[in-house]
Amino acid sequence: MPSDGENMSNDHGSLFATALTQFNRGADLIGLSDDLRQILSQPKNEIIVNFPVKMDDGRFEVFTGYRIQHNNVLGPYKGGVRFSPLVNLDEVKALASWMTWKSALCDIPFGGAKGGISFDPHRCSSEELERVVRRFTHSLGGNIGPDYDIPAPDLGSNSQTMVWMMDTYANSTGSSERQNVKRVVTGKTLETGGSHGREKATGQGVVFCLQHWADEVGFDLSSATVALQGWGNVGSATGRILQVHGAKVLAVSDHAGAIADQDGIDAFDLTDWVQENGSVKGYPNADWIEPSDLWSADVDILIPAALENQITADNANDIKAKVVVEAANGPTTLEAEEILSEKSVDVLPDILVNAGGVIVSYFEWLQNRSAQRWDLDDVDHRLREILWAAADSVVALQKDRESSSRRDAAYAVALQRLKTVYNQRGIFP
């Protein structure tokens, strides 16, 4: 399997092709012109860097890194960097476009980008990882910047990664500029310029979106049962916050396997276990189940919080949940979505549901810009306001255009904002 390439596909075909199909459905809903479809159907810039890193044993290894800048008409390019052996150009293009729609839908002044390095960070020592991250940042050079393109954490990267990126970038600017460039990345540690609430932001946003949906359809979240795929940053924060609201997590899976308990799995206890042991494997306070059984778990809410293309034509029919909440980016294939729609399972779309991360990144960027520190209540309050306003617009558009899908409606809201700005600004020259 190639590690990169325009047409790389996995079992479910090109992820970017899926993203384009979703885009075109939203575009149909608002009658987007062919001109704008052409512009928005491709990223503005596709940057690929191959850079050498000295490994602990003295060898040099060449890594391939990506930064795809999809669109910046609403603000600076913005989006995470993903470290995984599965990272490839097609995937990063899809993820970058989803960032554009996410920011537009939530009406925050950012564009969309995504980056990554095709490697497994777990096979590197901490020193090697630091050299990889610093050298990647250096290779990107002026392609990122505090008002130009602002990376953040994603799968396989974290707040330490962001601090290394920030420090590397700052050290390549003049000394009088150094304090000014902290906001070149978001998702930093609190001590080094991060924001309260950024670590849990995506999970918190997932729960705010669920609350909005529960209110809309008359569902009681405090007695809900939940199955979660993925117990990383997003999945575990979502599980813990839902538990605080009274919901019960009945099943969890991750890369190492799956566990279930009819009486509920303690999300805090499981988080401690995974932190110490690296996965849910061997967790003593639940039963070991087949990972595929997670999809058929008898729960109200199913939350994919891991990778793309997880809910497929093979497992969508087994789903018993009332609602699928896309905490991951692109977890549902197009075929699976049709099956879910036929079964009247609500799908809360990724570009709304997991936007909490980029929204609190925006808060971090604003705080860095004005040398302020907002408290956690303030951050949470502002996050909820933005997400609920976005969710309101999706519901309103869905009713107005009689769209059957929340995803199409969410795209339509986002695209309408982009369309308005393109129409006002025109195309230069």
Among 69, 159, 238, 361, contact with ligand GLU (rule: CB under 6 A): 361
Helix/strand/coil for 419: helix
47 binds ligand GLU, rule: CB under 6 A:
no
Q: How far is the CB of 109 from ligand GLU (least distance, A)?
A: 13
Segment contacting ligand GLU by CB under 6 A, of 141-149, 292-300, 332-340, 356-364: 356-364
Q: What is the distance between the alpha carbons of residues 33 and 41, in angstroms, rounded to a whole number?
A: 12
186 binds ligand GLU, rule: CB under 6 A:
yes
Q: What is the distance between the alpha carbons of residues 281 and 278, in angstroms, rounded to a whole number?
A: 8
Among 358, 383, 390, 397, contact with ligand GLU (rule: CB under 6 A): 358
Please say which residue, 206 or 265, places its beta carbon nearer to ligand GLU.
206
65 binds ligand GLU, rule: CB under 6 A:
no
Segment contacting ligand GLU by CB under 6 A, of 4-12, 49-57, 65-73, 354-362: 354-362
Please say which residue, 110 or 273, places its beta carbon nearer to ligand GLU.
110
**Chain residue whose CB lies nearest ligand GLU:** 80
Helix/strand/coil for 13: strand
Among 53, 124, 152, 410, contact with ligand GLU (rule: CB under 6 A): 152
Based on the residue annotation, tell me whether 200 is a catalytic residue of this protein: no
Segment contacting ligand GLU by CB under 6 A, of 18-26, 293-301, 334-342, 353-361: 353-361
Find the farthest-apart pair of alpha carbons in the chain and give their distance in angstroms, rounded: 65
Yes or no: say if 228 and 239 are a contact pair by the CB < 8 Å rule.
yes
Among 168, 233, 329, 393, contact with ligand GLU (rule: CB under 6 A): 329
- Return the H-helix or E-strand segment holding 248: strand 248-254
Helix/strand/coil for 188: coil
Please say which residue, 187 or 331, places its beta carbon nearer to ligand GLU.
187
Please say which residue, 105 or 336, places its beta carbon nearer to ligand GLU.
105
For the chain, how many residues are written? 429
188: number of CA atoms within 13 Å, CB side?
Answer: 24
290 phi and psi angles, rounded to 5 deg: -70, 135
230 binds ligand GLU, rule: CB under 6 A:
no
CB atoms within 10 A of CB 15: 25
Among 97, 100, 354, 393, contact with ligand GLU (rule: CB under 6 A): 354
Catalytic residue among 78, 102, 114, 200: 114
Q: How far is the CB of 152 from ligand GLU (least distance, A)?
A: 3
Segment contacting ligand GLU by CB under 6 A, of 68-76, 340-348, 351-359, 381-389: 351-359
Q: How far is the CB of 115 from ligand GLU (least distance, A)?
A: 10
Answer whether the bond into residue 153 is a cis peptide, omega within 30°. Answer: no
Q: What is the distance between the alpha carbons of residues 328 and 210, in angstroms, rounded to a whole number?
A: 14
Residue keyed to tokens 């980056």: 115
266, β-bridge pairs: none
Task: Write a three-state SS string for 270-325.
Answer: HHHHHHHHCCCCCCCCCEEECHHHHCCCCCCEEEECCCCCCECCCCHHHCCCCEEE
Please say which residue, 181 or 339, places its beta carbon nearer to ligand GLU.
181
Q: How far is the CB of 258 from ligand GLU (least distance, A)?
A: 24
Q: How far is the CB of 267 from ligand GLU (least distance, A)?
A: 21
Q: What is the distance between the alpha carbons of residues 178 and 384, in angstroms, rounded to a whole number?
A: 33
Q: How far is the CB of 364 from ligand GLU (least distance, A)?
A: 8
161 binds ligand GLU, rule: CB under 6 A:
no
DSSP string, 318-367: G---SEEE--SSS-B-HHHHHHHHHTT-EEE-HHHHTTHHHHHHHHHHHH
Instruction: Please choose, from the candidates 290, 80, 102, the residue with its C-alpha nearest in 3D space to the C-alpha of residue 187.
Output: 80
236 binds ligand GLU, rule: CB under 6 A:
no
Please say which residue, 266 or 350, places its beta carbon nearer to ligand GLU.
350
> According to CB under 6 A, which residues from 68 to 127 bind ligand GLU?
78-80
Residues marked as catalytic: 114
Tell me which residues touch ligand GLU (CB under 6 A): 78-80, 152, 154, 186-187, 329, 354, 357-358, 361
